[in-house]
A = this chain, B = another copy of it.
């Protein structure tokens, strides 16, 4: 049997939480209401009315009412999926029972919200047996309310060592007739509570990077046909840091991330899409430095690389603290090693279409050429690189296109912005790939 995703979205870029009831406001549902009206790039792929940590314990009863009211009113028009988070704790039966009751109330058809609710988010899960308790409650909720068994999805927050371990066994357990774990949708890291559970400490109190947790979550999602989402990035002002984190995550196969503000939603909806235009990098001292395009040249403006032409037509290049005397070919070779091209949406679509045509004509591999002229300290050097494209390259390049297709199919509210970002023509060609 093929590992298959059981739900509509193949990718989730954004997981946006809103408090369900805020004390001291005229309208305690104010935050829910404003979130429900988000559209386009400001609207997340999954919206999480958060009746757990984001809402004060004393306000959670009111939070349930607010979710029902706001989702009943606005759910039909909301462009993303809606997944309320309820309370739960692996170590507390009373919290689990409270979470069960919250789900029962939110999913009551009388309230009119459940038809717009895609599933629930369960925090603080433990062993798989604990996940099964939540799954069983969801089955009961569905039965009591006359909903189809398995129709409500379940997403979990991984914020304990035991939950991290549980992800290894997920695939084997999901097929068993005694549970409905096929309803699983998102595996979401929760690094704040995970750090507490692991009793980790950093001098400044910032969160440890937890690369192994993120790998294991991404792998668990891959093996069970689910979607991996990273936890909150607290420093809302630090857009560059948020982008770096997302780039790191994508290299781990974790495409989604928590967003705390509509601003973060825009960033996180945009970041995994192929760039509008291509660019050249030089990798110096382990860091990729983007070159700036000026009059068709790719210009380096930094201090870590210096290049001079000597009187005898040789070149003197200093990079990573090492000096090299090179002839023209050696220089070209050396710079080619340092340079890398970041393809644009158009580049990817062109290459894939060219490869599809070659395959139809019976060829299994084609060479794609990238060339440019670098300018370093005023010295210009032409470089050119051939890259072989075979079936594997093609398949790997498909991930960003598959993501784009998934977004375009499920988020009509973003069409306008996407077509502003890319040419309409490229969008059409991207949507036609792989047919």
Query: How far does the Cβ of A359 sit from chain B's closest Cβ, in whole Å?
Result: 10
Query: How far does the Cβ of A303 sit from chain B's closest Cβ, in whole Å?
Result: 5
CA distance A206 to B237 in the complex (A): 30
> Is A84 in contact with chain B by the CB < 8 A criterion?
no
Instruction: Check A238–B321 contact: CB distance below 8 A.
Output: no
CA distance A221 to B164 in the complex (A): 13
Partner of A198, one of B208, B209, B218, B343: B218
Number of chain copies forming the complex: 3
Partner of A201, one of B1, B127, B251, B364: B251
Query: How far does the Cβ of A175 sit from chain B's closest Cβ, in whole Å?
Result: 11
Give the segment of A112-120, A134-142, A334-342, A374-382 that binds chain B: A334-342
CA distance A212 to B211 in the complex (A): 9
> Is A397 in contact with chain B by the CB < 8 A criterion?
yes
Give the segment of A63-71, A73-81, A188-196, A408-416 that binds chain B: A188-196
The 8 A CB mask of A245-260 against B (1 = contact, 0 = none) is 0010011110100000
Instruction: Check B251–A161 contact: CB distance below 8 A.
Output: no
Give the segment of A37-45, A144-152, A388-396 that binds chain B: A388-396
Query: How far does the Cβ of A342 sit from chain B's closest Cβ, in whole Å?
Result: 4
Query: How far does the Cβ of A94 sit from chain B's closest Cβ, in whole Å?
Result: 13
Instruction: Check B238–A161 contact: CB distance below 8 A.
Output: no
> Is A361 in contact with chain B by the CB < 8 A criterion?
no
Query: How far does the Cβ of A269 sit from chain B's closest Cβ, in whole Å?
Result: 15
Query: How far does the Cβ of A355 sit from chain B's closest Cβ, in whole Å?
Result: 13
The 8 A CB mask of A215-254 against B (1 = contact, 0 = none) is 1101111110000000000000110010000010011110
CA distance A193 to B391 in the complex (A): 10
Which residues of chain B are within 8 angstroms of A222 by Cβ–Cβ distance? 160-162, 197-199
Interface hits, A146-175 → B, CB 8 Å? 160-162, 164-165, 168, 171-172
> Is A304 in contact with chain B by the CB < 8 A criterion?
yes
CA distance A223 to B216 in the complex (A): 15
> Is A204 in contact with chain B by the CB < 8 A criterion?
yes
Query: How far does the Cβ of A334 sit from chain B's closest Cβ, in whole Å?
Result: 11
The 8 A CB mask of A343-383 against B (1 = contact, 0 = none) is 10000000000000000001010000000000000000000
> Which A residues are closer than 8 A to B by beta carbons?
1-3, 11, 53, 56, 58, 91, 126-127, 160-162, 164-165, 168, 171-172, 192-193, 195-206, 208-209, 211-213, 215-216, 218-223, 237-238, 241, 247, 250-253, 255, 272, 275, 281, 288, 302-304, 321-322, 333, 337, 340-343, 362, 364, 390-393, 395-400, 402
Q: Which 3 residue pairs spanning A and B have beta carbons closest together? A: A198-B253, A161-B222, A161-B223
Can you list 23 A-B contacts with CB-CB less than 8 angstroms, sorted by A residue number? A3-B126, A58-B362, A127-B172, A160-B222, A161-B221, A161-B223, A162-B223, A192-B396, A193-B395, A195-B253, A200-B251, A200-B253, A201-B400, A203-B247, A203-B281, A208-B251, A211-B211, A212-B212, A212-B216, A237-B333, A238-B337, A302-B321, A303-B321
